[in-house]
Structure 1
Amino acid sequence: MEALSRDMWQGLNAQDKEAWMRKLVRQLPEGMVYEGLETFERFGQRIETGVFRHEEERFVFVPGDRITLGWDRWQRGMNEETSADMHETVSEYGVEDVDSFLASQMSPVREVTIAPMLVECELISLGWIEVSEEEAFAQEDPDFPAALEQFKPSDIREYELHQQFRLISQSEDEVRILWFNEGIELEDVVREEAAAGFGLLTEDEWEYIYGGGCRTLFPWGDSFDYTMRLKHFGIPEGVDEIVDASLEPDSSRIKEKDDHSYDLEMPNFFGIKFAGDPYKYELTLDSDGDVMPKGGDGGSLICGGTGPLVGFLPAAAVYYRDVNASELDWEDLMDSMYYRRVVRLTERAL
């Protein structure tokens, strides 16, 4: 197992890494295929690691480590631009001590041991499942037929009727249909994934794969990067604005094209993609097995007009915790909840 710790793994040559990855395949869920080594680099961290595929989904090998997680003080401190922005924004809400404010929003500092694992690169929607047009009509939703009829000839990229159905334009003749999966419970997800050989991330594991054990506020440092292309703050070049007055704006959300053109959605140094959107949560479990949403706050801060720095704090800060998440109903969380599968590797499995 020492070879699968991060320090030792980084010191192996490509041939030895290949041997370890091929050895792992015998112990992985049925259908998991090893595809080869790939190098990922971002935010000053770099790793050459194994890439696997299960059906259509990619997984990467993440070596284990003994690291410090959580945040309670600066390592380097904000630069002048970030500091001025932070103080000006939070002062409007009566916050005078920025450091205490930030520390109260973060997970506590602790030493943890992370086991080596395979981690799914993309996210899976918890509350939405893809259905065929025939399956959608079988739901007998009174709003669906008219919405689909209007959507098909329109220029809209995506249309959603809140917690009912979502339409996504794939091409001129193809529409993806997602249906809200209101009946699903967390216990069902855990049980079904476990039966297939997968687990769900813990909060410790999520913070590790997102920040790599960094001691700074963001994965790249303590200061905000104002050059990033961020969702909800302008439309980047190449992404068309979506408008259609024929669909009811009061009962729908019309969204920007999702083409991974935003910086926080791009693969990180482990080759893993995150939502990069404060309106979305990623499901993790705390030490007691309870839900601990990460990577967002349901849009609470951004809806308050806080600007990109504070508005994106839930999505960009490595150790952010939404202190209000426990007050939300499970159904409210499901609408914006995503998860990814992991395969934890143990000495016994090897």
Structure 2
Amino acid sequence: MEFFDSLEITNWKNLAEEEQQALVESIIMYYVSPLAKVEHLRRKNFHMCGMKGDSYEFTIDGEAFVFVPGKKEAILGWDFGVQGLKAQDLLGNRDVINSQEDQQTTYKTNLTKEELDNLHEHHGSSKNLFSFHTLEDIGEYINCYTTPLRKADIPPMIVAKRALPVGVKHQGTYDCVTGECQGNHEFLSLYREEIRQELSPNLSLEESLYWTYPKKVWQSGKFYLEQHPDNSDIYDIYQDLTLTHSELVKKIGQLNYSLLSEDAFEYVIGGGTRRLFRWGNEITVDPRYPKHSIFYQAHRPNMFGLYVNSDRDTFELTDDPEVVKLGIVHEDEKNIIQQVLPLSSYYQSWFKPKSHLPLNPSVYTYRKAIIIEPVQN
């Protein structure tokens, strides 16, 4: 079997473990930059929505990646309306975001005024078009805000397990318990006190009753702080580099990385399954069954071991500067399908960033990928 044929998912699943590992080691040798350090190669089993598979994950310069096999004629997009969804979930007008923490992470944003006006104008028009009072109307909304049904050939890829904030460079961490910064001493010495004031401010007794730790803090041209996904007491500290889309592509391209296409994003996030969401078609939010909640499901790694932001407060970039995935939920959007549809693998917000402007790291993220294709002579 030819090398690239072996990396197609149907053939990949039929290979022996030793053959799979040899292929991944060859991919690392020929496609990962020789300037990068690859460590911790290990076999992993991933599963979600009835889709199971074995692959390999490893780190490149300390960042976790996974090999995703390719697929010929993957079916992507959605035009099935409410098919597979429960009517009792869709026709309720429940506001599923009711905790103070969720309100903070969902409704607070650092979009520029121009971008906010663009987003609000768009959402305002969508509200006028759809009543959400009938299943037919909700189905039309779903079809409008998901990409068209189509087939696409997806190449094999090495994909980052998590998306990163755009235009920043990691410089250290801040521990909220000890109040200590660790990392690049030269950089931290410039902003240590400002960082402490942001995360450990001097508060009156009354102020302390209402103050909560922010999820993100952005000081343009200085630093960007973000709670660590696995430990809320730790903040990652980044230097703000202020990059445009083209500057980001050029920067990561120096180490042979690229951004995912829209087709590739939908495949690696949803696996090409005929489900609206990567975990299925369930949109349960009943607090009596937390492990069946969409928010529990959305935080889990998917069928390829990838994590996707489920807070609905960021966009993820693609290789097209005018196409972003995921979406930001606006505070006026109270219907459940408006609130959860941005979690769909096929969601399209119709929002277009200003590609010539520096990208805001608290709003835009990117996922590194290495596309495994024949080298063009």
In which range does the TM-score fall when normalised by the shorter chain? 0.7 to 0.9
Maintained 8 Å contact 1:228/1:262: no
| Cα shift readout 1:125-165 (whole Å, capped 9, x = no counterpart) | 11544445752553699x6675466379x996447555445
Letter in 2 for 1:124: L
Identify which of 307, 313, 327 aligns with 2:341.
Answer: 313
What is aligned with 1:8?
Answer: 11
What is aligned with 1:214?
Answer: 273
Change (3 A) 1:326 1:146: closer
| Cα shift readout 1:86-118 (whole Å, capped 9, x = no counterpart) | 799999856242222211111122211110011
Maintained 8 Å contact 1:75/1:216: no
What is aligned with 1:280?
Answer: 314
What is aligned with 1:252?
Answer: none
Change (3 A) 1:4 1:281: same
1:169 deviates by 7.7
How many residues end up aligned between the 2 structures? 308
* Partner secondary structure for residue 150 of structure 1: coil
**TM-score scaled by length of structure 1:** 0.74
1:323 aligns with 2:340: no
After superposition, residues 188-199 of structure 1 pair within 5 angstroms as 188-199=247-258
1:135 aligns with 2:194: no
Identify which of 81, 84, 87 aligns with 1:77.
Answer: 84
Change (3 A) 1:333 1:306: farther
In 2, distance between residues paired with 1:87 and 1:169?
29
Change (3 A) 1:102 1:333: farther
Maintained 8 Å contact 2:225/2:238: no
1:326 deviates by 4.4
1:182 deviates by 6.0
* Partner secondary structure for residue 326 of structure 2: coil
1:62 aligns with 2:68: yes
Letter in 2 for 1:222: N
Return 5+ residue gaps in structure 1 as ranges: 230-235, 238-260
| Cα shift readout 1:17-63 (whole Å, capped 9, x = no counterpart) | 12212222211222234612110111211110011211211111100
Identify which of 183, 201, 216 aligns with 1:150.
Answer: 201
Maintained 8 Å contact 2:258/2:319: no
* Partner secondary structure for residue 343 of structure 1: strand
Letter in 1 for 2:85: M
* Partner secondary structure for residue 304 of structure 1: coil
1:344 deviates by 0.8
In 1, distance between residues paired with 2:92 and 2:17?
45
Letter in 2 for 1:135: F
What is aligned with 1:258?
Answer: none
* Partner secondary structure for residue 46 of structure 2: strand
1:309 deviates by 3.9
Deviates more, 1:81-90 or 1:197-206: 81-90
In 2, distance between residues paired with 1:135 and 1:125?
18
* Partner secondary structure for residue 250 of structure 2: helix
Letter in 1 for 2:87: E
CA-based RMSD of the aligned residues comes to: 3.7
| Cα shift readout 1:164-211 (whole Å, capped 9, x = no counterpart) | 4555688xxx97463572632222211111111111111111100111
What is aligned with 1:49?
Answer: 55
In 2, distance between residues paired with 1:24 and 1:199?
16
Maintained 8 Å contact 1:25/1:33: no
What is aligned with 2:148?
Answer: 108
In 2, distance between residues paired with 1:92 and 1:204?
28
What is aligned with 2:103?
Answer: none
In 2, distance between residues paired with 1:38 and 1:149?
39
Return 5+ residue gaps in structure 2 as ranges: 97-122, 132-136, 172-183
Identify which of 88, 92, 95 aligns with 2:130.
Answer: 95
Deviates more, 1:2-11 or 1:329-338: 329-338
* Partner secondary structure for residue 201 of structure 2: helix
In 2, distance between residues paired with 1:51 and 1:204?
22
Maintained 8 Å contact 1:167/1:175: no
Change (3 A) 1:160 1:65: closer
1:225 deviates by 3.0
Change (3 A) 1:110 1:167: closer
Identify which of 291, 304, 311 aligns with 2:332.
Answer: 304
Identify which of 162, 169, 174 aligns with 1:122.
Answer: 162
In 1, distance between residues paired with 2:16 and 2:270?
25
Identify which of 232, 248, 264 aligns with 2:298.
Answer: 264
1:294 aligns with 2:358: no
1:283 deviates by 1.1
Change (3 A) 1:6 1:292: same
